[in-house]
Structure 1
Amino acid sequence: MPHSNSPMTEVLVAADCWRNEPDAEAVIQRAITAAAGNVDADVAGADLAIMLTDDAGIRTLNGNWRGIDKPTNVLSFPALQPTGARSDDDAPHMLGDIAIAYETMRREADDEGKPFDHHLSHLAVHGFLHLIGYDHESDADAGAMEALEQEILAQLGIPDPYGNREGMD
């Protein structure tokens, strides 16, 4: 059952490789609902789109928007937010878009020995947190964002995604 603070999340399959993961949408919906229930941001009824793409698609996005000519696992594109008071006649509040690349995500999950759905949940939560203003530009910001990810994922029964990092305390 969706949390009362959950955004309206549409999952768009843009690459056929995702057809091998019929539960991907349910995994993402569950992760976004958990994340929305654990943040101090009003995202109830807001719109969010998650595009499930492949490495070629995300490489294009990464090149066009970040000037980095390589694939990555997840990209977030926060929507510009209107200024001023909202009215009942306003269009739905847009959070933004998230893109997740299948091949990169699958390779990372396999390399790290993580279940596919656990890594997908983590990337969905990570992307969502970026949309509402979290980042990892400084060590302090990264620590806060990672702690929140760990808390959200723990509620989903998913172990600490950062637990296997070498050189970490």
Structure 2
Amino acid sequence: MEPPSSRPPGPEIPAGDPSLVVIVADPAWQKTIPGAERIARRAAHAVGMQGTIVLASDRLVRDLNWRHRGKNKPTNVLTYEDPAPEIVLAHGVVHAEASAQRRRPAHHLAHLVVHGALHLQGEDHEHPGDARRMEMLESRILHRIRVPNPWKRA
């Protein structure tokens, strides 16, 4: 059992929910964030996401980012709408960002799943007003699953 401080508490989501699939493609996720699959599932359910979440390696995300966006580097999260909703997260990038922001990796994972799921629902942050609205949505959703507001300065 993982220590309570390493995961955000909240309602348990049934692992057998067929409307949401979480694939741990890089075993490093399970080593560095105990319960990563459960955390991703809980965050996705908080937004009402259906589809697939892939907890991937930086290499896989870099390859996808190059293939689909022409950028030869990994990014924290990629979202795809077709053929079905999918969020792909890069292990190393997520961990590096969490460390740089002095946040728990589990909390950052939850935040990025919420962020990606909101993109799949049509939210964007290209313009300042849109960015502020999306940040407010993220903070409210994260509060419901007891994850600290990533936008609040310590």
Instruction: Give the TM-score taking structure 2 as reference length.
Output: 0.83
Structure index of larger Rg: 1
- For residue 133 of structure 2, give the secondary structure of its aligned residue in structure 1: helix
- Superposed displacement of residue 19, structure 1: 2.9
**Identity across matched positions, percent:** 39
- Superposed displacement of residue 79, structure 1: 2.6
Structure-2 residue corresponding to 1:26: 38
Structure 1 runs, 4 residues or longer, greater than 6 Å off: none
C-alpha distance in 2, partners of 1:118/1:22? Answer: 12
C-alpha distance in 1, partners of 2:63/2:19? Answer: 26
Q: Is the 8 A contact 2:13 2:38 kept in 1?
A: no
C-alpha distance in 1, partners of 2:58/2:18? Answer: 27
C-alpha distance in 2, partners of 1:151/1:68? Answer: 32
| Closer, same or farther: CA 140–49 of 1 in aligned 2, 3 Å | same
Q: Is the 8 A contact 1:78 1:132 kept in 2?
A: no
Structure-2 residue corresponding to 1:56: 59
CA RMSD of aligned residues (A): 2.1
Q: Is the 8 A contact 1:50 1:97 kept in 2?
A: yes
Instruction: Give the TM-score taking structure 1 as reference length.
Output: 0.76
Unaligned runs of 5+ in 1: 37-42, 81-93
- Superposed displacement of residue 142, structure 1: 1.0
